Amino acid sequence: MAKLVAPHGSDVLKPLLLPENERAAAQKKAENLKKVPMTTRETSDLIMMGIGAFTPLDGFMGSVDWKGICERYQMPTKNDLFWPIPITLSATTQLADSIQVNEEVALWDTETDTIMGSMIVTEKYTIDKAYECQQVFKTTDPEHPGVKKVMEQGGYNLAGPVKVFSESYYPEMFADIYQRPAEARAIFEERGWNTVAALQLRNPMHNSHAYLAWVAIEVCDGVYIHQLVGALKPGDIPAEVRVKAIDALVNNYFRKERVLQGGYPMEMRYAGPREALLHAVFRQNYGCSHLIVGRDHAGVGNYYGPFDAQRIFNEIPPGSLLLQPLCMDWTFYCYECGTMASMKTCPHDSKAVIDDQGNYQGGARLLLSGTLLRKLMSEGKPVPKEFSKPEVIAILKEYYDSLDEKVEVKLHRAATGDK
């Protein structure tokens, strides 16, 4: 009988999605409540609470927890439970002034014009946005997509317990891979898996990702290829295209009994090390014992060192997580070794040289990254065959060929290996 890791801070999952037979009445009541518009990030966080992925949260956080998390990764209202990033709901000053404490409000997704849930407002408070950004993102640069989102929030945060009515379009749009934590756990248990390594993906799966997954399968019972299907920044590849590309690789190059694909609805914050910790928290809720943490996990631009997300697991309070990081070094294709390798295994230091036609010209290490792949594809340049499987490249080429307008993809140090 499989013995999976327990959910975070709880013996059981705590999904906040109302039972189906209660939703119609709750929705009808909410239509007469004051509406609080949510950003795409706030909507995705609400859904994560709804499906139990953010166990044991019961709603959007108040000021005490906001401060405790920013300062020391702890929620004072939950016996100093470890939590790495504030989960908050913002409102304009005008709207916050119109809402009374203990008033019930409707949570409105403006993107789909849907009331997604309701909340009893227990607190209204202001925050130092620059302070949150510095603590969570390690920068206040408005060019950082996560910082930009926080700085554009309304002047107040609203806190309180929530009821969730909907999972939006995710269950239908991503029917083949969308999974709630309870569903993933049931499959792991059915397969008899005790140890499960999660592979976080927001890019199509290239050969470095596949190599990390194969290594994880060697030391765990199975690997959970867990794809983000929430919102991304401009220039990233849409979820439906990524899902198709990853399917092609997994179906052709993995033993099916050792891999499971899943999709989750959270929006990327690009918070680097802190986001790696959040990924660990909700992967534990999904039943994973390990999280693969490779180069530049959840990073963007040059804001984080390539292995900052690994080091942060050694800096958090002991006992914060049951899940453990599975730290992997930089991986690449080595022409001298004739195979995929890593900085720990390959003795050849020179960087591979590839011409404009995608042909190998010399050197050893071909450094692979999702950013570099997107740049090559967006500019119509050939991709070396060692970079990814032909089935994946064909799907991505079809997508990029269909674009009328391409977003410029900028390379950063974590993608090129430059100092």
> Please, are residues 228 and 201 in contact by the beta-carbon 8 Å criterion?
yes
Distance CA 339, CA 135 (A): 40
Is residue 269 flagged as an active site residue?
no
Distance CA 330, CA 234 (A): 26
Rounded to the nearest 10°, the torsion over CA 202, 203, 204, 208 is -110
> Which tokens is 28 given?
């009808």
Predicted pLDDT at 206? 87
Predicted pLDDT at 372? 74
Query: Of 41, 180, 203, 374, which is the active-site residue?
Result: 203
Report angle CA 289, 333, 269 to the nearest 5 degrees: 45
Is residue 202 flagged as an active site residue?
yes
Predicted pLDDT at 419? 46
Predicted pLDDT at 415? 47
Q: Which amino acid is at 89?
A: L
pLDDT in tens, 126-145: 999 999 999 999 999 999 99
Distance CA 229, CA 174 (A): 8
Predicted pLDDT at 407? 56
Of 281, 59, 266, the C-alpha closest to 168 is: 266
> Which tokens is 254 given?
């993995």
Query: Of 41, 180, 185, 202, which is the active-site residue?
Result: 202
Of 326, 334, 351, 214, the C-alpha closest to 276 is: 326
Spans of the chain, pLDDT less than 70:
1-2, 370, 406-419
The helix/strand count (H/E) of the chain reads as 15, 19
> Which tokens is 299 given?
């990073």
Predicted pLDDT at 230? 84
Predicted pLDDT at 368? 74
The CATH H-level superfamily of 171-264+270-328 is HUPs (3.40.50.620)
Q: Which amino acid is at 122?
A: T
Q: Which fold has domain 20-168?
A: Sulfate adenylyltransferase (3.10.400)
Distance CA 130, CA 113 (A): 30
Q: 9 vs 55, 81, 265, 313, CA distance in Å?
A: 7, 7, 21, 17
Q: Where are the domains of the chain?
A: 20-168, 171-264+270-328
Predicted pLDDT at 178? 96
Instruction: Let me know if the fold of 20-168 is the same as that of 171-264+270-328.
Output: no
> Which tokens is 207 given?
């050969």
Of 41, 17, 50, 20, the C-alpha closest to 282 is: 50
